[in-house]
Structure 1
Amino acid sequence: MADISRQSVEEIVEAVGGKENISAATHCVTRLRFALKDEGKVDKEKLENHDLVRGSFSSNGQFQVVIGQGTVDKVYNVLVDVADLERSSKQDIKDEAEKNLNPIQRAVKILADIFIPILPAIVTAGLLMGINNLLTGPGIFYEKSFVEVNPAWADLAGIINLIANTAFVFLPGLIGWSAAKKFGGNPLLGIVLGLMLVHPDLLNAWAYGEAQREGSIPVWNLFGLEIEKVGYQGQVLPVLFSAYILAKIEIFLNKRVPDAFKMLVVAPIALLVTGFIAFIAIGPITFWIGNGLTDGLVAIFDAAPWLGGLIYGLIYAPLVITGMHHTFLAVDLQLIASTGGTFLWPMLALSNIAQGAAALGMMFIAKDEKVKGLSFTSAVSAFLGITEPALFGVNLRFKFPFIAAIISSAIAGMIITMAGVKAASIGVGGLPGFLSIFPQYWGVFFIGMAIVLILPIVLTFVFGKLKRS
């Protein structure tokens, strides 16, 4: 693209409320990120009709304008001059934007900041588990599993399964790293803390139920206090709370211990104290809370699966708009650890596909060539699990495609939940999502996929025609 004109950037600045409304600004690979004083001053219609703009949305206190890879940095360079801004880092914008968040939004943002960095590992693991499901699931290629009919492939399947399971077996290590970093502690100590909670000397969390029934849970006797030697494989809450304690102890000690003694004092004391607190209090309490929440959620969906699927399918996309969808990643991981699968994630995948199909529907009815192009590219992105371009660039902008998508997602969610569809892992939340579904549920899941691929296009077309009539 040619050099960006000053006038075009001035129009963007004017559309976001003028330079006096901008507290700070930075950019990522595709988007301008603003910390605005008052988002109510944004003229979204004017902004999204701008030739350089592909969409806009607000998330976690930041107002983000989608420009596109390779262009956004040029726009930002002109923006800094036009709006008389100092160059800001992403962290500067986050810090500025957090001032505008309420307590619930802050809590959601903390979870998002912790889980988003580890998503590549989790999604990769989910894809590999999907490949393992293809090889080991009966009734896919043959009546028996592929590896039973072709034993030479068994070891390959075993290696794939080991690689795939690693991220889930050592999930507390990943969360410990990300959480400690978020809370201001040493990420390496966070890794050690997480791995400590799944140490081989501890009873595997997945064997806890059977050991409890048999009365054979190993314990430590600590000055008359019995502490269960239980690991927290696949658990989310224990390492989250422990990492917070670890980081706060580390920060406290770093402020008071002389530099010459920090290596000898800070990390050993922080890990030792956090370890005792984790095994004595945090672990048992959060383990009980996590399993209680899981049991409650399962009970609700068992009692009225059609209603649960209908509601979750309907609200998932609105949750994406608020950023609160990140909280359900922790729920999915807890469900997988406690019950061996999650019934929530399949609805996520269908919701993403529905948003992509609705955007694709807009491509067929839009007259503006820019909207047609944006609709197609954002649909492809949504089909591969990234819905923001479709959501904010097309569906919410015209409203009726968004309504078409959530109606379709709700219907499909109701159908697959009534059939008990579960995912063995978290994978790519789009068309490849079937790989993460247990193979015995593929038939029903494909019916759900057909619904969210066809119905949003039909409804978008109908709503669009009605709107114009």
Structure 2
Amino acid sequence: MTEKYQALAETIIEKVGGKENINSLAHCITRLRFKLKDEALADTDFLKNMEGIVTVMQSGGQYQVVIGNHVTDVYDTILGLGVSKVSENPAPAKKQNPFDAFIDIVSSIFTPVLGLLCATGMIKGFASMFLSIGWLSDQSGTFIILNALGDSLFYFFPIFLGYTAAEKFKLNHFVGMAIGASLLHPTIGSINALEPLFTIFGGSFMESPIHATFLGVPVILMDYASSVVPILIATYVGSKIEKGFSKIIPDVIKMFALPLLTLLCIVPLTFIVIGPIATWVSQLIGSGFLAIYDLSPVVSGVILGGFWQIMVIFGLHWGIIPIALNNLAIYGQDTLLSLIVPASFAQIGVVLALMLRTKDKKTKTLAFPAFISGVFGITEPAIYGITLPKKWPFIYSCIGAAVGGAITGGTRTLNFVSGGLGIFELPSYVDPKNGINHSFYMCLLAMIVAFIVGFALEFFLFKEEVKPVEAAPAHPINHTKLSSPIEGQVIPLSQINDEAFASELLGVGVAIESTDGRVVAPADGTITSFFPTGHALGFTTDEGIELLIHIGLDTVQLEGKHFTTFAKQGEKVKAGQLLLEYDVESIKKAGYDLTSPVVITNPKDFLDIIINEEDTISLSEELFTIVLS
């Protein structure tokens, strides 16, 4: 425990309602992020005015206490006082839309294994490369050990995810691991080698040979190695089962009875219900894509290429792979696999662009190994660790994959063997009879185009949340507050009809629907620029915060009409000093929008910027809190 921050930590715990009111605690670069059972119990006014705290924000279901660059020390001290990172009795989460809820689940479950995912992915990629170029034989001990190490996470993924999913869904961690281990037990796989007892759903797409039963109920077995969705669903359902049993099992036997009954329920349920449903959905998707390909190869390339990575995430790609392998076995060639080859190259194109554009050190650190493993076809580190949690990069990769799929589909590109992954898939497109032909070149073209599209979309449309560089060693908080220079209704920049401001190309801030026609200095500083038309001015505070105030949209066309200035460029002014007046009604009658952006144009110079989230603001109210260091 850091004694220096103990008094601060104790007061924070007390003023957020005590330990019993804390559901969870996390932190980012400047803020403690609490999830409280009842935010009404927190003394927000006290905390806002407390020395050592910059301000308090309540947003997105989180109670955020802004500390500054020594937030880690305060966080560690609070944990040392007995506050847990996660409560055993969390309050109900605020309702999210399905996509955001899915992203939250994926991020929470996969984040703990990101480093290992990148490491094993790189090892597997290099092992494949060494094998393909002849440096190693598949019979050599070196290759066998490297390949086993590279496969260690991917093959046993259900066990690792059983642990992290249990953390997310509040299930006993070791019960989650046991569920995953059950799915991978070698005797389960060996059952499929036995003669079928009978077949169910004969004549339908769900036709399945039954090699075993559980208490007389048919069990349809599938390969769970490297799978994702079955263990996630099983863990979620298992958490509900465990919760139900925990209410009725006596405490004296709960230690062994609770996991016993939970496992006896969820593992058979997974084999009997969850696995078969995933298999049938995969088969339906596979049959559907065959029908689409027969109708239009280009359309099938766009659909299968664009949605391939999504299918992999849900484990639905297994409906395509068997069809492609069957085509190779029967006809010696296949068209489906060529539609999905570009996906990994679109993914690594996005990752490379993100690595070049982002200033976030963690993202850069993860992006490099994810890019390397992606070159060799191992894209899970890129998907789960980087692009999917950030949403738009993942969408860009799907677009690039769709374009690449359209190329291979439209040219009816063929592959002739089931070969390597990533860049080492190219030899699979060499025709054994005719050598290198259009299939090889079209596959290579699709890879390049998918990479370029993914790279270009991410590079040119890149948008990063303002994040500071790593904080310096702890020292007293240095922050300042800026009052609003304009009075009116506060509107997020993203909602205004001006792309340059809405995309935050010009700075970070808000727009204000002006009501009283005045602009005052938000702090002591200097007017660094003042347009002759009076519609916009640049302002720099004494602390070096650069502010752009733009009255209305397109009001430059008024050429100064209806604007009256009370200061000039280069003048030093005091906080609250009148700088500009304008005739609100006349400007509106002239057909101009008086939504006025107020943005900080040098946000990267500061540790954090907190924006007042009130709907309306007056000239005397604080608009920005800037953490200087």
- Give the shorter-chain TM-score range: 0.5 to 0.7
Aligned residue type for 1:102: Q
Contact preservation (8 Å) 1:309, 1:410: no
Q: In structure 1, what is the equivalent of residue 176 of structure 2? A: 190
C-alpha separation in 2, matches of 1:243 and 1:381: 30
Deviation for aligned residue 1:77: 10
C-alpha separation in 2, matches of 1:118 and 1:187: 15
Q: Does 1:177 align with 2:159?
A: no
C-alpha separation in 2, matches of 1:452 and 1:351: 5
Percent identity of equivalent pairs: 20
Counterpart selection for 1:278 from 263, 270, 274: 270
Say which is worse superposed, 253-262 or 126-135, in terms of deviation: 253-262
Say which is worse superposed, 378-387 or 252-261, in terms of deviation: 378-387
Contact preservation (8 Å) 1:220, 1:227: yes
Contact preservation (8 Å) 1:31, 1:64: no
Aligned residue type for 1:173: I
Deviation for aligned residue 1:131: 0.8
C-alpha separation in 1, matches of 2:26 and 2:176: 29
Structure 1 residues 458, 174: closer, same or farther in 2, change over 3 A?
closer
Deviation for aligned residue 1:134: 0.8
Contact preservation (8 Å) 1:355, 1:382: no
Q: In structure 2, what is the equivalent of residue 164 of structure 1? A: 150
Q: Does 1:269 align with 2:261?
A: yes
Q: Does 1:102 align with 2:88?
A: no
Deviation for aligned residue 1:418: 4.2
Structure 1 residues 65, 328: closer, same or farther in 2, change over 3 A?
farther
Counterpart selection for 1:245 from 226, 237, 243: 237
Say which is worse superposed, 281-290 or 219-228, in terms of deviation: 219-228
Q: In structure 2, what is the equivalent of residue 132 of structure 1? A: 127
Aligned residue type for 2:352: I
Q: In structure 1, what is the equivalent of residue 570 of structure 2? A: none
Deviation for aligned residue 1:257: 1.7
**Higher strand share goes to which structure?**
2
C-alpha separation in 1, matches of 2:183 and 2:363: 41
Normalising by structure 1, report the TM-score. 0.56
Based on CA coordinates, which of the two structures has the bigger radius of gyration?
A: 2
Say which is worse superposed, 240-249 or 188-197, in terms of deviation: 240-249
Deviation for aligned residue 1:99: 3.6
- 1:201 is paired with a residue of what secondary structure? helix
- 1:269 is paired with a residue of what secondary structure? helix
Deviation for aligned residue 1:351: 1.9
Q: Does 1:114 align with 2:113?
A: no
Aligned residue type for 2:224: Y
Contact preservation (8 Å) 1:312, 1:410: yes
Contact preservation (8 Å) 2:229, 2:314: no
1:219-245 residue CA offsets vs partner (Å, 9 max, x unmatched): 224565433354422333322222223
Contact preservation (8 Å) 2:285, 2:320: no
- 2:188 is paired with a residue of what secondary structure? coil
Deviation for aligned residue 1:76: 7.4
C-alpha separation in 2, matches of 1:176 and 1:379: 25
Contact preservation (8 Å) 2:158, 2:227: yes
Aligned pairs for 1:428-439 within 5 A:
437-439=422-424
C-alpha separation in 2, matches of 1:451 and 1:118: 29
1:369-406 residue CA offsets vs partner (Å, 9 max, x unmatched): xxxxxx5969955853699xx99xxx99xxxxx9xx99
Q: In structure 1, what is the equivalent of residue 11 of structure 2? A: none
Contact preservation (8 Å) 1:61, 1:101: no
Aligned residue type for 1:348: Q
Contact preservation (8 Å) 2:154, 2:225: yes
**Higher helix share goes to which structure?**
1
C-alpha separation in 1, matches of 2:220 and 2:398: 43
* Runs of at least 5 residues in structure 2 that lack an aligned partner in the other structure: 1-15, 40-53, 323-336, 371-381, 410-419, 427-442, 463-498, 507-629
Q: Does 1:339 align with 2:334?
A: no
Contact preservation (8 Å) 1:202, 1:230: no
Q: In structure 1, what is the equivalent of residue 31 of structure 2? A: 32
Contact preservation (8 Å) 2:346, 2:451: no
Contact preservation (8 Å) 2:32, 2:71: no
Q: Does 1:352 align with 2:344?
A: no
C-alpha separation in 2, matches of 1:207 and 1:67: 61
- 2:143 is paired with a residue of what secondary structure? helix
- 1:256 is paired with a residue of what secondary structure? coil
Aligned residue type for 1:118: V
Deviation for aligned residue 1:269: 2.1
C-alpha separation in 2, matches of 1:162 and 1:451: 34
C-alpha separation in 2, matches of 1:276 and 1:246: 11
C-alpha separation in 1, matches of 2:76 and 2:215: 64
Structure 1 residues 458, 109: closer, same or farther in 2, change over 3 A?
closer
Counterpart selection for 1:202 from 188, 206, 210: 188
C-alpha separation in 2, matches of 1:119 and 1:378: 11
Contact preservation (8 Å) 2:285, 2:319: no
- Superposed CA RMSD: 5.8
Q: In structure 2, what is the equivalent of residue 254 of structure 1? A: 246
C-alpha separation in 2, matches of 1:283 and 1:262: 29
Contact preservation (8 Å) 1:312, 1:347: no
1:269-313 residue CA offsets vs partner (Å, 9 max, x unmatched): 221222222222222123323454566579879653664599779
C-alpha separation in 1, matches of 2:67 and 2:451: 31
Deviation for aligned residue 1:135: 1.1
Structure 1 residues 100, 116: closer, same or farther in 2, change over 3 A?
same
Contact preservation (8 Å) 1:32, 1:76: no
- 1:226 is paired with a residue of what secondary structure? strand
Deviation for aligned residue 1:130: 0.6
C-alpha separation in 2, matches of 1:328 and 1:65: 37
C-alpha separation in 1, matches of 2:94 and 2:261: 36
* Runs of at least 5 residues in structure 1 that lack an aligned partner in the other structure: 1-18, 38-51, 53-57, 81-85, 138-144, 314-326, 360-374, 397-401, 422-434
